[in-house]
């Protein structure tokens, strides 16, 4: 057995797993009957259908050979980790340290995701965007969000 179309094969696998998760979880809810559907009826139907579609896609990806063998290709680890990390840090900082510090760190960390990263330029960008976000979100739109760290403003 050889996978002739990687993208389709893994897409199918994804659908099979997701469909199975939803279908199995659906069995925990009341199924009801066709004329009086319970909360489990519709998702169970869809979960099973999704898994079937997944099986068809994956099978086709193994059986039918494609000319160019559609490979998934290299994964961009640097942007993947950089963007996700920036996001996580922002979530951790926002409530206790306030918007300004959280935005500054977010922009700087996110800049690391690009392979054209330069430290001074990124610091300037972070500073400029922090000021802009403070003006737009705190002064102009008055979002209910802490601007400065709570241990300073109290």
Partner 1 sequence: MDLFTNLAIGVEVAFTPINVLYAFVGCLLGTIIGVLPGIGPIATMSILLPVTYSLPATSALIMLAGIYYGSQYGGSTTAILVNLPGEAGSVITVIDGHKMALAGRGGPALAVAAIGSFFAGCFGTIVLAAFATPLINLAFKIGPAEYFSLMLLGLMGAVTLASGSVLKSAGMVIVGILLGLIGTDINSGVERFVFNIPELSDGIGFVTLIMGLFGYGEIINNLSKRPDDQTVLVTKVGKLMPNKQECKLAIPAIARGTILGSIIGIIPGAGAAISAFLSYSVEKKIKLRPDEVPFGKGNIRGVAAPESANNAAAQTAFVPTLSLGIPGSASMAVLLGAMTIHNIQPGPMIMSNNPELFWGLIVSMWLGNVMLVILNLPLIGIWVKLLTIPYRWLYPAIMMFCVIGVYSVSNNTWDIWLIGLFGLVGYMFIKLELEPAPLLLGFVLGPMMEEKLRRTLLLSDGDWSVFVTREFSFGILAAIVILLIVAGFRKNK
- Say how many residues touch partner 1, by CB under 8 A: 70
Q: Which residue has the tokens 């179309």?
A: 5
Q: How far is the CB of 71 from partner 1 (least distance, A)?
A: 10
Q: How far is the CB of 67 from partner 1 (least distance, A)?
A: 16
Considering only residues 93 through 152, tell me which ones interact with partner 1, judged by CB under 8 A.
94-95, 99, 103, 106-107, 110-111, 113-117, 125-126, 129, 133, 137, 141-145
24 touching partner 1, by CB under 8 A? no
- CA of residue 154 relative to chain centroid, distance: 34
* Nearest residue (CB) to partner 1, 1 versus 29: 29
* Nearest residue (CB) to partner 1, 4 versus 26: 26
* Nearest residue (CB) to partner 1, 2 versus 116: 116
Question: How far from 18 is each of 26, 43, 48, 74, CA to CA, in Å?
Answer: 12, 12, 10, 24
Q: Which residues contact 78 (CB under 8 A, 6 or more apart)?
A: 113, 115
Helix pair angle (6-26, 41-63), 10° resolution: 160
Question: How far from 97 is each of 13, 52, 151, 153, CA to CA, in Å?
Answer: 42, 48, 8, 10
* Nearest residue (CB) to partner 1, 80 versus 150: 80
Other beta carbons within 10 angstroms of residue 84's beta carbon come to 12
Of the residues 19, 97, 98, 100, which one makes contact with partner 1 according to CB under 8 A: 19
Of the residues 22, 123, 147, 149, which one makes contact with partner 1 according to CB under 8 A: 22
Do β-strands 36-37 and 32-33 pair in parallel, antiparallel, or remain unpaired? antiparallel
Q: Coil, strand or helix: which one is 29?
A: coil
Considering only residues 34 through 73, tell me which ones interact with partner 1, judged by CB under 8 A.
34-39, 42-43, 46-47, 49-50, 53-54, 56-57, 70, 72-73
């Amino acid at each position: 057995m050889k996978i002739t179309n990687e993208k389709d094969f893994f897409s199918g696998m994804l659908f099979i797993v997701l469909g199975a998760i939803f279908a199995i979880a659906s069995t925990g809810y009341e199924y009801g009957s066709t004329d009086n559907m319970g909360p489990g009826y519709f998702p169970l139907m869809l979960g099973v259908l999704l898994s079937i579609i997944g099986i068809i896609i994956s099978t086709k990806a193994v059986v039918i050979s494609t000319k160019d063998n559609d490979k998934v290709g290299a994964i961009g680890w640097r942007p993947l980790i950089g963007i996700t990390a920036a996001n996580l840090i922002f979530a951790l900082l926002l409530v206790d340290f306030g918007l300004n510090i959280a935005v500054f760190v977010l922009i700087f960390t996110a800049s690391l995701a690009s392979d054209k990263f330069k430290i001074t330029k990124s610091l300037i960008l972070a500073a400029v965007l922090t000021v802009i976000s403070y003006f737009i979100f705190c002064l102009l739109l008055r979002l209910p969000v802490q601007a400065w760290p709570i241990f300073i403003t109290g």
